[in-house]
Structure 1
Amino acid sequence: MGAAGILAACSTSEKSKKDEIELPELLEQAPDGAVLKAGLIGCGGRGTGAAINFLDAGPNLQITALGDVFQDKIDNCRETLKTEKGVEIADENCFIGFDSYQKVIDSGVDIVLLCTPPHFRPVHVEAAVNARKHIFMEKPIAVDPVGARSVLASAKKAEAIGLSIISGTIRRVQKDYMETHRRVANGEIGEIVGANILRNGGALWYRNRQPDWSEMEYMLRNWVNFCWLSGDHITEQFIHEIDVMNWHLDKIPVKAIGWGGRQRRVTGDQYDFFSVEYVYDNGMRAHCAARQINGCTNRKVQQINGTKGYADAAGTLYDWEGNEIWKYPHPEDGDTESPWKVTNPYVQEHINLVTAIRTGEPVSDAEAQVNSTLITIMGRISAYTGKDVSWEEIMNSDLYLGPKTYTFGPVPGVEEKIPVVGVDNKPANG
């Protein structure tokens, strides 16, 4: 089965027994072919990792250009690629500045790997599609509704001209998650009636402002703590778990009822925790909660509830008495021949992209990631405002976060200020 089949088989629909979803073949390496050149835009840790994942996806793959706003990020990435993969990037193909993305796109590459802070993703996707480049885009694809709708428009244009786009929502290409999803979609826990999704972990990294940094440099180097750059952790990190929920439920919620707050973060303008109830048109509800505070109980839950039982989306099905009715047969350590071996999903997504290009069967999971991104934004806005937020409001919102132009100086319109909901409580009379 080609790459198009891999992604098509991941969608959910009501099927009769004779039309049950089957697990597609997942290639462990992309097929050979002419050299494909990729350019990396955003050379931090995740970007450097994505470049290595791309090189590991098959034969005749090259990283030929790098772009970032910081020289030290370029230098570190070049050194890692040289040390770990024996790849050297020519000086003339290393571009610095806010316009470096366009220079990478114009450098003769076939594919762009978009790994900057997500605020910049919509503009980079649009430029890549206009230049007819295939795209790997890290999650999330935007931080606001304006950006998400821009990516959706670019994705539709890409589809029309035969370009492939693969997103960084890795669970949809991870074999144990895929087999679990297949079984749930085929009715093994009955009809889906809701979900309980948690991602509770420790605090993320942060950087204090240095005397020689402008406001823009401070925010960019501390980007995971600013909403205009990251979308807050509900969008930047929790999207993985919410995307799993969306994949299984295969529905868009009509409303989000969210709350959250901040107790421990020391920089930026974001929350430490979120709790959101998503409501669907059939009355179904899903609860999603995430926390990033050190010294607390950590737990990750991706529970899909059905009429006959429930699923741990990572690989186990249960009946409603808690009895295990199926478990993914992970092979023993060192067993590389098992048909149940799970390929590193960070590599698998690039295998799928390269396979699509080389087989001439374009694929795109962009719309699914747009929807998952918007659903996280919907929850964030509800938590930030203390108001219920509808899907219709999100789809019509003109909310845009961050500046419209970029220079290393002040960042107009962005304050390091924490959202506070509601109004002040008043003392009782008498």
Structure 2
Amino acid sequence: MSVKDLDRRSFLTKATVGTLGMATVLVACSSEKTKKSEDIVPDLLEQAPDGKVLKAGLVGCGGRGTGAVINFLDAGPNLQVVALGDVFQDKIDNCREQLKKERGVEIADENCFLGFDAYQKVIDSGVDLVLLCTPPHFRPVHVEAAINARKHVFMEKPCAVDPVGARSVLASSKKAEALELSMVSGTIRRVQKDYMTTALKVKNGDIGEIVGANIIRNGGALWHRRRQPERTDMEFMLRNWVNHCWLSGDHIAEQFIHEIDVMNWFLGENPKKAIGYGGRQRRLTGDLYDFFSIEYEYENGMRTHCASRQINGCTNGKVERIVGTKGIAIASGHILDTQGNEIWTYPKWEEGVTDPKWKVTNPFVQEHINLVTAIRTGKAVNDAEAQVNSTITAIMGRIAAYTGKEVTWDEVMNSDLYLGPKTYAFGPVAEISSEVPLAGEANKLS
């Protein structure tokens, strides 16, 4: 069956592994109002407290993984990175070189692990926590292994590319809670003080009752790799992972999840269904779309619009606009009245504000400060469920666009859709299609 013939059911049941038991995804944000204040500013630590040495292992040594491990080292005192794992030797070598150059850290040869099972070797190397930064397809299996080994987890976004994986991460997060292990996600806006303050003002009723949202992320094309004759199917796709849906979840999940997560956070509920569209004109490799436009609908009939585009040479920008009965919130730190006049803005440190309460710590470091603090104080934190919700929201939008059909939250949560091969090895990957999804039916000449 070609991609042209796939309908919504195919995109919801294309399974190659069994599903886990269903688990109800609860809304992470409470509807309880907080005390009103002009300056509700979260009190965040700029550095994790001192304590015994914490040893971390990195799984996935590409650009984001290398950045994450440096962010971890910057989070506080007595933090060490002692193990690295990847499927490519050059990625390990580059990461080791950058760690030595930028932080004076050297990783022993015996603690550098190569192969598809490198994640387990990192987990078993005597570390206290693991940083999981591979392409997101692999996240559910890596998270499960880490929690089973009773390790604390930092996991990059998104947590999965399909419903089977999302449910797996949810199950792992419940086990982590029972074991009092900490899990911190790479959805950075939730640890960013300007966003956090704006969210509290919205929760307090500063814009009245929320009636909708407009969420947009338009940017240029991401990097891509052309096929080299000597590379197998698996190596080509792994080195070109941001352009393959089974590895990345498409850019609506891999990158736009940041903005979708902000929407879910501010609204405090999950959409019940989605309808939308997307397409491809410019990408040179892989099977992803260049753009998405999704409308989400909620239980009370409220609707939100989300759109994302990755095409060079266009007008780009980001919008995170939450609309209420009394005003509008710009999630990054602005409140407007119903006429569009600004009535509050978050004081910007870079514009000369000197009161330290307004300083926004680099969120890529702040998430590790929070994780290390939780471990050292024995007060576990776990935001995995919120990332599962946002991942499912993105997947729902992707399926709606790929098929051109309305897709519900319950359908996705009950779906046995699994993207990816059954086994991992360098060589042909016959079960992975490279055809681009086409919604609807083809026109016919009379």
Partner of 2:259: 241
Aligned amino acid, residue 180 of structure 2: G
Shift of 1:332: 3.9
1:98 to 97, 116, 120: 116
2:305 is paired with a residue whose SS is strand
Distance 1:362 1:110 in 2: 14
Distance 1:61 1:178 in 2: 27
Distance 1:219 1:16, change over 3 A: closer
1:119 to 137, 147, 171: 137
Query: What TM-score does the superposition give when structure 2 sets the normalisation length?
Result: 0.92
Shift of 1:423: 1.2
Contact persistence 1:21–1:182 (CA under 8 A): no
1:66 to 81, 84, 93: 84
Partner of 1:162: 180
1:274 to 292, 315, 324: 292
Q: What does residue range 119-268 of structure 1 map to in structure 2 within 5 Å? A: 119-268=137-286
Contact persistence 1:115–1:138 (CA under 8 A): yes
Q: Is 2:58 the partner of 1:40?
A: yes
2:397 to 379, 390, 404: 379
Distance 1:393 1:16 in 2: 34
Q: What does residue range 225-374 of structure 1 map to in structure 2 within 5 Å? A: 225-332=243-350, 338-374=356-392
Give the total of aligned pairs: 419
Distance 2:205 2:272 in 1: 24
**Which segment drifts farther, 139-148 or 336-345?**
336-345
Query: What TM-score does the superposition give when structure 1 sets the normalisation length?
Result: 0.95
Distance 1:356 1:153, change over 3 A: same
Contact persistence 1:12–1:185 (CA under 8 A): no
Contact persistence 2:211–2:323 (CA under 8 A): yes
1:263 is paired with a residue whose SS is coil
Distance 1:31 1:15 in 2: 31
**Which segment drifts farther, 360-369 or 416-425?**
416-425
Partner of 1:7: none
5+ residue gaps, structure 1, are 1-9
Q: Which deviations, in whole Å up to 9, do the C-alpha atoms of 1:170-191 show, x marking residues without a partner?
A: 0000000001111111000111
Aligned amino acid, residue 164 of structure 1: S
Aligned amino acid, residue 416 of structure 1: S
Shift of 1:331: 2.1
Partner of 1:24: 42
Contact persistence 1:197–1:302 (CA under 8 A): yes
Distance 1:185 1:20, change over 3 A: farther
Contact persistence 1:136–1:168 (CA under 8 A): yes
Aligned amino acid, residue 276 of structure 1: I
Contact persistence 1:21–1:185 (CA under 8 A): no
Distance 1:19 1:310, change over 3 A: closer
Contact persistence 1:198–1:301 (CA under 8 A): yes
Distance 1:335 1:91, change over 3 A: farther
Partner of 2:73: 55
Distance 1:19 1:160, change over 3 A: farther
Aligned amino acid, residue 236 of structure 2: Y
C-alpha RMSD of the superposition: 1.5
Contact persistence 2:157–2:186 (CA under 8 A): yes
Q: What does residue range 4-15 of structure 1 map to in structure 2 within 5 Å? A: 11-15=29-33
1:339 is paired with a residue whose SS is helix
5+ residue gaps, structure 2, are 1-27
Shift of 1:336: 6.6
Contact persistence 2:41–2:357 (CA under 8 A): no
Q: What does residue range 67-86 of structure 1 map to in structure 2 within 5 Å? A: 67-86=85-104
Contact persistence 1:114–1:137 (CA under 8 A): yes
Shift of 1:24: 3.1
Q: Which deviations, in whole Å up to 9, do the C-alpha atoms of 1:360-401 show, x marking residues without a partner?
A: 000000000000000000000010111100001001100000
Shift of 1:335: 6.4
Distance 1:289 1:63 in 2: 38
Distance 1:337 1:322 in 2: 28
Q: Which deviations, in whole Å up to 9, do the C-alpha atoms of 1:164-207 show, x marking residues without a partner?
A: 00000000000000011111110001111110000001000000
Distance 1:129 1:328 in 2: 38
Contact persistence 1:275–1:289 (CA under 8 A): yes
Aligned amino acid, residue 265 of structure 1: R
Percent identity between matched residues is 75
Shift of 1:152: 0.2
Contact persistence 1:65–1:104 (CA under 8 A): yes
Runs of 4+ in 1 over 6 A off after TM superposition: 18-21
Contact persistence 1:21–1:186 (CA under 8 A): no
Distance 1:334 1:95 in 2: 46
Distance 2:394 2:185 in 1: 16
Structure number with greater CO (CA < 8 Å, separation at least 6) is 2
Shift of 1:250: 0.8
1:391 to 409, 416, 419: 409
Contact persistence 1:165–1:353 (CA under 8 A): yes
Distance 2:354 2:431 in 1: 53
Q: Which deviations, in whole Å up to 9, do the C-alpha atoms of 1:36-84 show, x marking residues without a partner?
A: 0000000000000000000000000000000000000000000000000
Distance 1:403 1:194 in 2: 39
Q: Which deviations, in whole Å up to 9, do the C-alpha atoms of 1:88-131 show, x marking residues without a partner?
A: 00000000000000000000000000000000000000000000
Distance 2:40 2:179 in 1: 29
Distance 2:38 2:164 in 1: 38
Partner of 1:4: none
Aligned amino acid, residue 264 of structure 1: R
